[in-house]
């Protein structure tokens, strides 16, 4: 984004310079060579350049904005190349316009520990992701985690909810199991936050004297625990649009792991990378079985 803004500024400076130079040429030629045909030709050309630069600076951006608004009002018809039922078109349009926060660089870390006495395994899942507010306004956000109480044997629990925000310490918290708020449908929730626009975070990070990688990011972390059969699977579904997911299954000589996502790339034993976009409700299963 900063590079794009710099390019726009450079273009405007160039157009402004062209306007000034062409106007100066017109004035000079009219003043020095009022009746000479060649001078009149150069003067006319300079006038044309001046008018073109003036329109590019003033009228052109306005027309482009209006054209983009017209096209985007029914963008999916143009994008897909054919008409869709209005219910689908309305859903897609609403999904795009309602998306204000998205997640990137999500890391899911599974740890499976065998318990031969019970014939089951204990499973710990840690989730970390960076959240970005892509709008120009502060947006409300509340971290949530859902646990499924399918049976007493599974003992599903949320262990931790955490927010790390170097540029906005007021957003930071670390809640343990007894601090979560109980929500409908088995959800646990952390405090309600107001998330700053990403451009505000980036500008504050640039102005800060302390420059670190990820200093302009807000990171959320969640930890779960549960119990499963020795041959079983655990699932993850996206609660918000999510870009770039890494899955790590902690190495063990007692289990082998699998992942049922077709485009996943295994970059190391028990570690997969997915450079995909997961929409809300999309997800996958991580499975394990004894070696």
Could you tell me the two tokens for 275? 């450079």
d(CA 41, CA 35): 11
Residues 132 and 29 in one domain: no
44 lies in which domain range?
A: 2-73
Model confidence pLDDT, tens digit, residues 102-153 = 999 999 999 999 988 888 999 999 999 999 998 889 999 999 998 876 667 7
Residues 110 and 64 in one domain: no
Residues 175 and 112 in one domain: yes
The pLDDT score that the predictor gives to residue 84 is 66
Model confidence pLDDT, tens digit, residues 146-204 = 887 666 777 889 999 999 999 899 999 999 999 999 888 888 999 999 999 988 888 88
In a domain, 79, yes or no: no
The strand order across the sheet containing 271-278 reads 173-175, 157-164, 218-229, 120-133, 101-115, 242-249, 271-278, 265-268
pLDDT category of residue 210 using cuts at 50, 70 and 90: low
d(CA 29, CA 159): 79
Residues 60 and 119 in one domain: no
Model confidence pLDDT, tens digit, residues 5-33 = 556 667 667 767 766 766 666 666 565 55
d(CA 112, CA 257): 10
Q: Are 290 and 232 in contact (CB under 8 A)?
A: no
CA distance readout (Å), 190 to 1, 170, 178, 217? 31, 14, 11, 19
pLDDT category of residue 93 using cuts at 50, 70 and 90: low
Q: Are 248 and 273 in contact (CB under 8 A)?
A: no
Domain total of the chain? 2
In a domain, 141, yes or no: yes
Q: Is the pLDDT of residue 49 over 90?
A: no
In a domain, 128, yes or no: yes
The pLDDT score that the predictor gives to residue 1 is 46
């Amino acid at each position: 984004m900063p590079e794009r803004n710099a390019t726009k500024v450079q273009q405007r400076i160039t157009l402004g310079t062209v306007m000034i130079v062409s106007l100066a040429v017109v004035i000079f030629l009219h003043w020095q060579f009022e009746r000479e045909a060649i001078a009149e030709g150069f003067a006319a050309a300079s006038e044309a350049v001046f008018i073109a630069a003036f329109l590019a600076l003033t009228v052109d951006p306005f027309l482009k904005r209006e054209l983009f608004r017209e096209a985007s009002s029914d963008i999916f018809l143009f994008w897909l190349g054919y008409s869709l039922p209005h219910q689908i078109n309305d859903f897609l349009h609403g999904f795009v316009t309602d998306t204000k926060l998205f997640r990137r660089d999500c890391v899911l870390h599974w740890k499976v520990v065998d318990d031969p006495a019970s014939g089951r395994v204990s499973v710990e899942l840690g989730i970390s992701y960076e959240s970005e507010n892509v709008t120009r306004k502060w947006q409300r956000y509340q971290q949530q985690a859902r646990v499924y109480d399918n049976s007493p044997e599974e003992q599903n629990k949320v262990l931790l909810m955490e927010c790390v925000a170097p540029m906005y310490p007021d957003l930071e918290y670390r809640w343990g199991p007894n601090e979560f708020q109980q929500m409908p449908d088995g959800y646990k929730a952390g405090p309600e936050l107001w998330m700053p626009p990403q451009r505000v975070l980036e500008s504050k990070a640039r102005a800060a004297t302390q420059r670190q990688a990820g200093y302009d990011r807000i990171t959320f972390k969640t930890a779960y625990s549960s119990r499963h059969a020795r041959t079983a699977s655990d699932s993850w579904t996206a609660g918000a649009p999510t870009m770039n997911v890494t899955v790590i299954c902690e190495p063990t000589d007692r289990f082998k792991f699998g992942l049922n996502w077709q485009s996943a790339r295994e970059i190391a034993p028990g570690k997969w990378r997915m450079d995909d976009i997961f929409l809300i409700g999309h997800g996958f299963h991580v499975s394990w079985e004894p070696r």
